[in-house]
């Protein structure tokens, strides 16, 4: 079983990397929607940067999950739904969103006033796709109906919350992908130790896709945007839901919820800049001028 898990992880990572790189090359030649200007934004330096890394991640990781060997049908479907669904909703916000409302709290407050923002559509849509993906994941046959329902709710919140949280880190070059690696690495290791081929493949795919695009991100030629970050977080959420026991999933959801709540009060960028270790990790591989 450990051998199968390792092979599944290697295959998932390789497929994710190759597919994401191929998608990025194709999309920079011919964007999936509109033209090059449609996907151009201004980064934190005030320089133009493309958001096409995001659709490339979504397409590459989605294709890799669909093709990865050894995944149960329901787990495969859950990952495709969460990753591609989250990415599509993120792309909608990338292309149609405005800065009138910001943050989870801001979008929900606007919704309470009767104003439907693109961010609110994304939040509700990712919540729905997260629950649907959680419902698709295989469950223990001897669990009661109440226990299965509770697991679906926890897993749905974990998948949707992870999608949202990853996007909160996509404010500096490479940061979201590094955070994704720090979260996905332990998930992959746990799946390998446990001998869980499906969990190993699910964790490896977004790690491979992210690694293939990291150079573009760190070089400030491209960024994930909402599309890529939401997809990255959702896929890692599915991997966690498929790999961890109930206590582990509850702990992961607590971390996700805590960091999301903290983001409404503090700036992650300021916290990272003020911590020498986090700042060094954040600057690793980035431009210094």
Distance CA 206, CA 208 (A): 5
pLDDT score recorded for residue 118: 78
Closest CA to 209 of 31, 17, 70, 22: 17
pTM: 0.93
Distance CA 131, CA 155 (A): 7
CA atoms within 13 A on the CB side of 93: 32
pLDDT score recorded for residue 44: 82
Distance CA 93, CA 89 (A): 6
pLDDT score recorded for residue 115: 67
Residue keyed to tokens 């479907």: 77
Q: How far is residue 26 CA from its own chain's centroid?
A: 21
Closest CA to 193 of 185, 17, 253: 185
The two counts, helices (H) then strands (E), for the chain are 12, 2
Closest CA to 83 of 16, 35, 28, 38: 16
Tokens (6 digits) for 115: 């104003």
Distance CA 75, CA 247 (A): 20
Mean pLDDT by 10 residues, the chain (289 residues): 80 96 97 92 89 98 94 95 96 80 62 71 92 90 81 97 96 96 94 86 97 96 96 97 92 96 92 95 90
Q: Is the dihedral of CA 118, 124, 127, 128 positive or negative?
A: negative
Report pLDDT digits (tens) over 122-164.
888 999 999 999 999 987 667 778 888 999 999 999 999 999 9
Distance CA 226, CA 230 (A): 6
Distance CA 141, CA 148 (A): 9
């Amino acid at each position: 079983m450990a051998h199968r898990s390792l092979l599944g992880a290697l295959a998932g990572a390789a497929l994710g990397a190759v597919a994401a790189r191929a998608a990025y090359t194709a999309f920079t030649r011919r964007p999936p929607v509109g033209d090059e200007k449609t996907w151009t934004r201004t980064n934190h330096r005030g320089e133009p940067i493309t958001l096409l890394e995001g659709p490339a991640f979504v397409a590459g990781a989605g294709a890799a999950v669909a093709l990865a060997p050894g995944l149960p049908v329901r787990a495969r479907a859950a990952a495709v739904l969460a990753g591609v669904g989250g990415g599509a909703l993120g792309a909608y916000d990338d292309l149609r969103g405005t800065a009138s409302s910001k943050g989870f709290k801001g979008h929900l407050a606007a919704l309470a006033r009767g104003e439907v923002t693109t961010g609110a559509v994304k939040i509700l849509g990712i919540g729905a796709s997260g629950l649907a993906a959680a419902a698709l994941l295989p469950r223990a046959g001897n669990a009661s109906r109440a226990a299965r329902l509770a697991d679906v709710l926890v897993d749905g919140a974990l998948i949707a919350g992870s999608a949202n949280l990853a996007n909160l880190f996509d404010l500096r070059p490479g940061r979201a992908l590094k955070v994704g690696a720090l979260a996905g690495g332990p998930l992959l290791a746990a799946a390998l130790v446990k001998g869980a081929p499906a969990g190993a493949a699910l964790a490896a795919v977004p790690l491979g896709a992210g690694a293939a695009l990291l150079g573009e991100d760190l070089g400030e030629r491209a960024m994930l945007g909402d599309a890529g970050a939401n997809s990255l977080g959702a896929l890692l959420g599915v991997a966690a839901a498929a790999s961890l026991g109930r206590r582990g999933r509850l702990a992961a959801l607590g971390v996700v919820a805590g960091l999301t709540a903290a983001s409404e009060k503090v700036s992650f960028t300021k916290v990272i800049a003020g911590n020498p270790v986090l700042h060094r990790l954040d600057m690793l591989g980035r431009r210094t001028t």
